[in-house]
Structure 1
Amino acid sequence: MALRKRKSADGDAESRFTPKNAKNVLAVAKIIGPALIPVVAPHVLRGLGEVRDRYDRGRARRLGVPIEELARFSGRGGALHARISGAAAAITELRERQDATADDRTFADRGETTLRQLAAAVRAAERMPTARRKAAHKAASTELDQLEERLLNRLGV
């Protein structure tokens, strides 16, 4: 099906899409479309699956968690939950070190308590109105920043 060509002011041919041409394209699509669906659908579905996989892998990388655990960190507080989980793992590592002192163990106990409270606050904030949720997330993030800084100092990083 050829589109009508018309000369523009500078002498180049440009295509002109008319209502009649659009109607013809739709008529052809109605005839050919159903025959192409069984051929095209598997490729489209595979492509969509690949796009979703790449999106999930990128999101997991941004949160710093394995892709298998990505579902645990969903929702508006997902990034905070991921940070809390990472801090909890680091506190466990601090406690289990060979050269951990009694002071390190005390810090680890208080840190775990703080992390449990932060996790509960972030979960509760999920159902709050936007302004209150953002304020709660900001407060939790600030508290987590301070805890992570003290933890890194204790780990010698």
Structure 2
Amino acid sequence: MAREKSSKGFTPGRAKNLVGVAKVLAPALIPVVAPIAARAAALLSDRYDHYRAGRLGVPVDQLTRYSGRGASLHARIAGFSEALDQLRDTERSYVETTEKRLAQLLAAVRASERMPAPRRRAAHRAVATDLDALEADLLKRLGV
């Protein structure tokens, strides 16, 4: 009884043949594939940067300012600071007091980057709660 060759399965002989073919084709394909792969990687990186910037609500060119696990809180604090400029002339004492509080919150976010995960999450929740209250007050003062 003769053994039939199976067309299924990956045998050591087939693997050896594939390696031999790859050794011959790889030097010819690398100059063709490498530029395409580089362009694809650059495009993916650019799209991911736009995605992250959109989630944080900041322009792409400012994305490097906001990194780490507290990036979204950092971006919220920066946006809040910019919104305070509209009240600087009319409510100077409120703006100064709020800017001091924002500086404290920003310091807490930065400090929390090196904390263990449970403490970091608790700190981020506390900062987010504080920011929610400050934003509600700001919106009320802006008449929104």
TM over 0.5: yes
**1 CA distance for matches of 2:10 and 2:107?**
61
Determine which of 118, 122, 136 is the counterpart of 1:135. Answer: 122
The Cα offsets for residues 113-152 of structure 1, whole Å up to 9 and x where unpaired, read as 1100000111111111111111111101110111011111
Residue 66, structure 1, aligned to residue 59, structure 2: yes
**1 CA distance for matches of 2:69 and 2:79?**
18
Residue 94, structure 1, aligned to residue 87, structure 2: yes
**2 CA distance for matches of 1:39 and 1:113?**
57
The alignment covers a number of residue pairs equal to: 139
Residue 18, structure 1, aligned to residue 10, structure 2: yes
**2 CA distance for matches of 1:27 and 1:143?**
64
Determine which of 71, 75, 78 is the counterpart of 1:78. Answer: 71
- SS of match in other structure, 1:147: helix
User: What are the within-5 Å matches in structure 2 for residues 115-134 of structure 1?
Assistant: 115-134=102-121
Residue 53, structure 1, aligned to residue 40, structure 2: no
Give, in angstroms, the shift of residue 26 of structure 1. 2.5
**1 CA distance for matches of 2:17 and 2:133?**
66
- SS of match in other structure, 2:49: helix
The Cα offsets for residues 40-93 of structure 1, whole Å up to 9 and x where unpaired, read as 101101100100000001100110001111001001111110000000000112
Runs of 5+ unmatched residues, structure 1:
1-5, 7-14
TM norm structure 1: 0.82
Higher relative contact order (CA 8 A, sep 6+): 2
Q: What is the match of residue 3 of structure 2?
A: none
Q: What is the match of residue 12 of structure 1?
A: none
Q: Which amino acid aligns with 1:142?
A: T
- The structure whose residues are more often strand, as a share, is 1
TM norm structure 2: 0.89
What is the RMSD computed on CA atoms of the aligned residues? 1.7
Determine which of 35, 44, 66 is the counterpart of 1:42. Answer: 35
